[in-house]
Amino acid sequence: MSLRFDGVQICAITAALPKTQLEIKSLAPLYGEIEVRRMIESTGVSSVRVAEKLRTSDLCVEAARHLLKNAGVSPSDIEAIVVVTQTPDDFMPGVAMSVHERLGLSRDCLTFDLNYGCPGFVYGLLQVAMLVRSGLKNVLLCAGDVTSKLIKQGDRHLQAVFGDGVGAALLGPGSEQIDFLFDTDGAGKPYLHTPLNYDLSPEKVATVGHLQMDGSQVMTFALSRVPSMVKKLLEQCGLKQTDIDLAFFHQANLLMLKYLKKLSGFTVSQWITDLAETGNTGSASIPLLISRLKTGPETRFNKVMLCGFGIGLSIGVAIASLKETQRISPIEVG
C-alpha cells in the first residue's frame, strides 16, 4: 500500500539512550573469545545500551523533553502524542499515558500507543502525518523499546545485537510531503515475536515470554522484499536513485545492511551505517541514526529514504525531506 501526505513537515528529531553500555567482548567468558569475535565481526556491534531499571516511558520522557527544549516548543503546545513500542511499562493503559502525565501535556492532547517493532518509526510517521493533515500543528512521536528486558539469559545471538533506546520527532504543517509504501506478510509472525501466555487458573495471570527470532528467515524476507520496495517507491514518486541524498535504513546488523546496500543500489555517499556503539535499537534506530549524524546542522537533505523492516514480517518505506528538520544530538539517560 502506498500513501502520500502533502503539507507535512518533520520539524525536529532526536533520541535518548541509556548510559549503561554492555561491551560485547565482555561476553567472552560465557561464550568463548572466538565466538564473541565472530559475532562482533558479523553483526558490526561492539557494544549495546542497556536500560537496566529504566522503563520505556523514562526514555520517552527524556527524549521528548530534550527535543522540546532544543526546538523551543512548550509541552502545552503539543496537541497529540503517539508512542510506538513493544515493551510497554504495563499491560494497560500503555506508555503514552505515562509520558502525557510526566510531560504535563494538556487534557485536550490526543494520546495513544502503537504496538510495532523495527518498522515502527515509519508506521508512527504515518499516524502522525494523518493527524497533521487533519489540522493539528504540533504532534509528538516517540518510538523505541527496552528490548534487553525480553532477552533470555544465554541467548547470545540476541544479547550481542539488541540494544535499548527511544527516538523522538516533532511534526507539524509545512511545505514538504511524505510518501509511504508498506508491505506485510503476516505468515512471518513466528520468525520474530514475543509470546504472551494467558493462564486459565482462577488468578488469570498473563505471562510475557522471551523474544524469539529466526534470523535467517528475517534476513531472507528483508533481502527479497526491501530492494523491490525501494525501487517501487522511487518510481511512484517519479524519482531516481540519485535524487536521494541519504538512505536511513533500520540498523538490524552489519551483514544484512551490506547486502541491502548492494541490492538496493545506493552509493557509499548515500548510505549511513551506525550501530557499532548502540546495536539494533528496533523502531528507535532510524531517528537515532538521523540524530547521530556527524554533519553540521547547516547541512540540508532535500530527499531522504527511511526504511524499517522486521516484525510481522513487515516493511515500511518513506521518502521525506529533512531540509527544514532540526537534528538534535541524542541525550544519555541514567
Residue ranges of the domains in the chain?
A: 1-334
CA triple 146-63-322, angle to 5 deg? 110
pLDDT tops 80 at residue 200: no
- Location of C-alpha cell 553540521: 296
Residue 58 confidence (pLDDT): 98
What per-residue confidence (pLDDT) applies to 326?
Answer: 96
Q: How far is Cα 175 from Cα 324, in angstroms, rounded to an integer?
A: 10
199 pLDDT band (50/70/90 cuts)?
A: confident
pLDDT the model gives residue 300: 84
Mean pLDDT of 302-320: 97
d(CA 163, CA 45): 10
- Least confident residue range of 43-57, 194-208, 292-306: 194-208
What three-state secondary structure class fits 225?
helix
Average pLDDT over residues 286-291: 98
pLDDT of residue 184: 96
pLDDT tens per residue, range 47-78:
999 999 999 999 999 999 999 999 999 999 99
Could you report the per-residue pLDDT of 67-106, keeping only the tens digit for each?
Answer: 999 999 999 999 999 999 999 999 899 999 999 999 999 9
Task: For the chain, give the mean pLDDT.
Answer: 96
Rounded Cα gap, residues 108 and 104, in angstroms = 11
Q: How confident is the model at residue 297 (pLDDT cuts 50, 70, 90)?
A: low
Start-to-end CA span in the chain (Å): 40
Q: Report the pLDDT averaged over residues 224-248.
A: 97
Q: Is the dihedral of CA 231, 235, 237, 239 positive or negative?
A: positive
Q: Say what the pLDDT of residue 312 is.
A: 92
Per-residue pLDDT at 294:
85
Across the range 6-17, mean pLDDT stands at: 97
Going by C-alpha positions, the residue among 306, 326, 286 that lies closest to residue 84 is 286
Inter-residue contact 128 to 306 (CB < 8 Å) = no
Whether the upstream peptide bond of residue 313 has omega within 30° of 0, thus cis, is yes
CB 81 within 8 A of CB 123: no
For the whole prediction, is pTM greater than 0.85?
A: yes
- Residue 132 is predicted with a pLDDT of 98
| Contact of 118 with 308, CB cutoff 8 Å | yes
Residue 233 pLDDT: 98
With H, G, I as helix, E, B as strand and everything else as coil, classify residue 220.
Answer: helix
Q: Centre a 10 Å sphere on the Cβ of residue 269 and count the other Cβ atoms it contains.
A: 8
> What are the E-state strand segments in 133-195?
139-145, 165-184, 192-193
Give 190-246 as a DSSP string: GGEE--EEE--STT--EEE---EE-HHHHHHHHHHHHHHHHHHHHHHTT--GGG-SE
What CA–CA distance (Å, rounded) separates 302 from 326?
13
User: What does the pLDDT average to over 202-222?
Assistant: 91
| Residue 47: strand pairing partners | 23
Contact (CB, 8 A) for 209 and 112: no
**What CATH number was assigned to the domain covering residues 1-334?**
3.40.47.10
pLDDT for res 91: 87
